[in-house]
Amino acid sequence: MVVTPNLKEEEALWARGYRHVAGVDEVGRGPLAGPVVAAAVVLPQAAGSFYHLVRDSKTLSAAQRDRLYEEIAGHALAWATAAVPPEEIDRAGIGPATKKAMAEAIGTLCLKPDYVLVDAVKLPTIGLPQKSIIKGDATCLSIAAASILAKVCRDRLMEVADREHPGYGFARHKGYGTAEHLAQLHKLGLSPLHRKSFAPVTMVEGGAKAEQRRQILGRLGERIALRHLKGLGYIIRETNYRSLWGEIDIVAQQGDTLVFVEVRCRTCLNGGRRESPFGTPEESLTPAKGARLVETAQTYIQTHADLPDHWRIDLVAVELTPAGRIRRVEVLENAVWDT
């Protein structure tokens, strides 16, 4: 049997002498971006002609919600919405942020309710008699009406956000974790509307920062290695040579030997008194990486003319202090053998 929202809860309270019963609901607990929005609405005891159309907002189309929004707003004795932004969600957590939005919506009503019907949660801070109803948006008319107000309000906020932060598709997915949203998030990075404490966003943010740090450290290590090799008399032929197999940081020549150089840079902890948590530069050169270096070196030899008869692969190990000062630069000749 399909359950539709009704006025049984409200009528029981009206019969007990409560004149202004507010229904409260929220929208936006689950999205990766945008605020959580709550609405509170006080319906009159005289039934509205549209009441039979009111449903949980999630079960209605956008057009149906828009029409009912106008009906509810025009018919209610009082209604209000409140939003808590992403930065506060990150700071307080989605549960407390949701309760704050609900409390603010109630507090913003142009009349003080006698009693509050709330979807699923309890609001101990509002100082009003209340009842928490599980799945209240599906059974209680006031709560269902509040869910529609909150949903339309939040959707409109996300449509504005789409114009202010184009490219993410906020107008379509409203900040939820759709495939389109996740793809654009990885492509564009974070916007100010993203909830940094939510797992998918945290992974993007953490991954982006880690990758950025890795690239900066790698470029710094290569500059240090180049300067060191030149000081030792190496002639630099080229840098960052790429093939199908991988990349060689530096191609150099020492006397009559062609030298392929892999640079490994690590930051040591506590000013160098402890090793990097990722191991030493030497330890980071795995057998698999060594095999790719050999393949790349052989590709270079096959595609370039006038090369020395002998070649080898060296490793330049660079260690830095946390402040970025050089702790160690060392060349390890024949770090990888062609097996």
- 132 and 281 in a single domain? The answer is no
Nearest residue to 83 (alpha-carbon basis) of 145, 152, 135: 152
Residue 319 falls within a domain, yes or no?
yes
Please give the Cα distance from 5 to 143 (Å, whole number).
9
**C-alpha separations of 147 from 247, 255, 279 in Å:** 55, 77, 54
DSSP 136-169: HHHHBHHHHHHHHHHHHHHHHHHHHHHHHSTTS-
pLDDT digits (tens), the chain, 339 positions: 557 999 999 999 999 999 999 999 999 999 999 999 999 999 999 989 999 999 999 999 999 999 999 999 999 999 999 999 999 999 999 999 999 999 999 999 999 999 999 999 999 999 999 999 999 999 999 999 999 999 999 999 999 999 999 999 999 999 999 989 988 988 888 899 999 989 788 777 665 566 566 777 888 899 999 999 999 999 999 999 998 888 999 999 999 999 999 999 988 754 444 444 456 888 888 888 899 999 999 999 999 999 999 999 999 999 988 767 889 999 999 998 754
- 260 and 120 in a single domain? The answer is no
pTM of the model: 0.63
- 125 and 21 in a single domain? The answer is yes
Sheet with 310-320, edge to edge strand ranges: 235-242, 247-254, 257-267, 310-320, 326-336
- 45 and 72 in a single domain? The answer is yes
Residue 1 falls within a domain, yes or no?
no
**Total tally of structural domains belonging to the chain:** 2
Domain membership of residue 59 as a residue range: 8-194
Distance of CA 286 to the CA centre of its chain: 32
Q: In sequence order, what are the residues at sequence separation of 6 or more whose Cβ sits closer than 8 angstroms to the Cβ of residue 293?
A: 246, 248, 260, 262, 313, 336
The burial class, CB within 10 Å (0-12 / 13-18 / 19+), for 97 is: buried
- 112 and 22 in a single domain? The answer is yes
